[in-house]
Structure 1
Amino acid sequence: MQSSSNLFPVALISAERRGDLSEDVYRLKPGNSPDGTVELAVTRLGLADVPENRGTPIILLHGSFSNRRFWYSPKGIGLGAYLARRGFDVWIPEMRGHGLSKRNHDYARNRVADYARYDLPAIGAFVREQSGQKPHWVGHSLGATTLAAALGGQHLGAPMVASVALFGCQVSRTHWPLKIPPVEWGGRFILKRLAQVSGPRFKRGPEDEPAGVMIEAMRWNGLFGRFGDAERDWWKGLAEVDVPLLAVSAAGDRQDPDWACRQLFEQVGSEHRQYLCLGRKHGFTEDFGHVQMLVSKTAQTEVWPLVERWLKDPLTPLVGTHPEIAATV
């Protein structure tokens, strides 16, 4: 079968019409990481009746224990579907072992470092090849953290990124028990025996997460931990990032609190950056939660239009909509 890309083997595995939307699913085999079995499913959403009139490309990255359905439900509801109906060219990757992306050979050892170094650059290159434009990137939770790692590690930059929006993204919240070496060692031992953590079992989401991602997060929070891998300090690298940035927190988010999201935002060196906290104190009708900031009826009316405005013009401040929004800090 002929590849859909000149970069690496890509197969179109399905092409369906979903109401007013078209849904094309590609299987990417980048072959750029030590594990040659990695395959990534990427769904492309657009308007079914205007397939040749693709707009600005947007890449949406889901968080932990999740998949493409965070952005696009079977009924055609979600930020991804909303943006597609607004004329954007929407791309929704699923990380290794999530959704339509099969589990790779070393699934249990998958890490954010692998996603940032190998997977996101391959996805970005493919989307740019297909669309002819630099894509905008939007990430939620672990997807946003992976984006921050790719930027701080210099795996993604201005040639591949038109702008970045990070929702519920932080690495500063400290879990003090993990500072005690025996506790960290015990946690690693248990996770290695489990190989993965079940999202459905622990009511965290529809997908499992590989133990490697959890162990990596424990290392970040360990006694001498840092946000980075053996080669790079991603936190320091964020100071060198120079792409338009929107960072969004939620006032009711206990997992990734506002203060910690703001710390990461302030570390990024971008000239054009904006910060937004979704809460009553800042002009919204409710204190949004970690998931509700993007998946709720209130988000549809209060948050999605702001995302659209940002994507259309990341260099223009959103000042005037809510008092908390500022061009820079």
Structure 2
Amino acid sequence: MQHHQQSEWLTVADYQLHLRQLTPVQPDSAYPVLMLHGAIENSRIFYNEKGRGLGCFLADHGFYVTCADFAGRGLSQPKASRDFNHSQQQLICQDIPSLIQHLQQQYQLPVVVIAHSWAGVVLAASLARFPHLLPKVKAIITFGSKRVIRVGGFKKRLHIDLVWNRLSPLLCRLYGYLPAKQWRFGADNEPAQYLLDTIGWIRGHAFTDPTDGFDYAAACAKLSWPVSWHFAAINDQLLGHPLDVQAFLTETGLNKGRYTLLGKAQGHHQDYDHISMLTHPCACKDHFNEVMLWLKQIEPQY
């Protein structure tokens, strides 16, 4: 590895967010990178101690990288439980602004934000709700981010309509949180309110806040977004179907950014899916390298 790893914790309200700091041995990047994970997972989608993952790849190429665990997930404290709940609105209104401002103040530079899956949705909502954050964001990169799941079929009926929309709320009432890890349909557990807040948006309800009605769609229409690049995977047929990703980009105005479909027919080494786009060894030769070169082009060199 050409980077060092250490953990720190950022206090927000009455909880602490775990930040995994990946520090390059030879810095070669002006702008720090913040990585945000999706639902029923944590920041380890971007890194591990053996140096794998997009976060490690960028750190090895000179970027200061921070992989954040959302409240209740990963090594953040406390864990999701009956005694610790956390809503989607808290993530949008407290956590994401705190993370962006923390890194901007730490490095005195705007931040590159990379989001996987649902994190792209809450990131867009947070920036739309707090446009004063936009000057603190240099670029946005999303992987498999969609808001509404419109794709049909058996997998959608099983994993979304049955497990996510019906079974998961029942589990939340039983356990006080969503035990996705114990039930083996996710890499991490979720606070109950966060799960409940996602259901309406996934079903296609208006892009408004389920807590206070804030109109994110209208707010997005007024924004001038930073430069952005958005990835979908050819074998991602449910959680980030390419058509659903494109619909989300159109809805938010992020479709003015760059869009790439990851698959062999598009010249890549693999037909990637929702997870393998960030975990497959071939990703380093494919889009990881392309992302690294693109980020270096939009920033001054040392």
Partner residue, 2:15: 38
Give the one of 139, 147, 160 matched to 1:171: 147
The Cα of 1:282 is off from its aligned counterpart by 2.3
Do the aligned partners of 2:124 and 2:252 also contact (CA within 8 Å) in 1? no
Query: Aligned residue for 1:265?
Result: 249
Q: Which runs of 5+ in 2 are unaligned?
A: none
Distance in 1 separating the partners of 2:176 and 2:151 = 22
Cα-to-partner distance string for 1:284-309 (whole Å, 9 max, x where unaligned): 23321000111101211101011112
Equivalence for 1:120 = 96
Give the corresponding residue for 2:230. Answer: 247
SS of residue matched to 1:294 = helix
Which 5+ residue runs of structure 1 have no aligned equivalent?
Answer: 1-18, 32-36, 316-329
Q: How many residues align?
A: 287
More helix by share: 2
- Which residue does 1:3 correspond to in 2? none
Please report how far the alpha carbon of residue 310 of structure 1 lies from its aligned counterpart in structure 2 after TM superposition: 2.7
1:80 aligned residue: 55
- Partner Cα distance (1:253, 1:107) in 2: 35
CA positional deviation for 1:54 = 6.7
SS across alignment from 1:40? strand
Q: CA deviation at 1:314?
A: 4.9
Q: CA contact under 8 A between 2:31 and 2:109: conserved in structure 1? A: yes
Equivalent position of 2:293 in the other structure: 309
Q: Which residue of 1 aligns with 2:264?
A: 280
Question: Is 1:28 the equivalent of 2:10?
Answer: yes
Q: Which moved more, 1:151-160 or 1:82-91?
A: 151-160
CA distance, structure 1, for counterparts of residue 76 and residue 23 of structure 2:
21
**TM-score normalised by length of structure 2:** 0.83
1:102 to 64, 72, 77: 77
Instruction: Give the whole-Å Cα distance in 2 for the aligned partners of 1:134 and 1:161.
Output: 5
Where 1:39 maps in the other structure, the secondary structure is strand
1:152, distance to aligned residue in structure 2 (A): 3.0
Indicate the RMSD between aligned Cα atoms, in angstroms.
3.0
Percent identity (aligned)? 22
When normalised by structure 1's length, the TM-score is 0.77
Cα distance, 1:171 vs structure 2: 1.1
Decide whether the 8 Å contact of 1:117 with 1:155 is kept in 2: no
1:126 CA drift (Å): 1.0
CA distance in 2, matches of 1:222, 1:69: 28
Pair 1:189–1:158, CA change in 2 (3 A): same
Candidates 31, 34, 59, aligned match of 2:34: 59
Deviation readout 1:175-213 (Å, 9 max, x if unpaired): 898xx9xx9788645533332222333333431112212
Contact 1:250 1:293 in 2 (8 A): yes
CA deviations over 1:145-176 (Å, ceiling 9, x no partner): 22122123236642221111111101121489
**TM-aligned CA distance change 1:282 to 1:107, over 3 Å:** farther
CA distance in 2, matches of 1:186, 1:92: 30
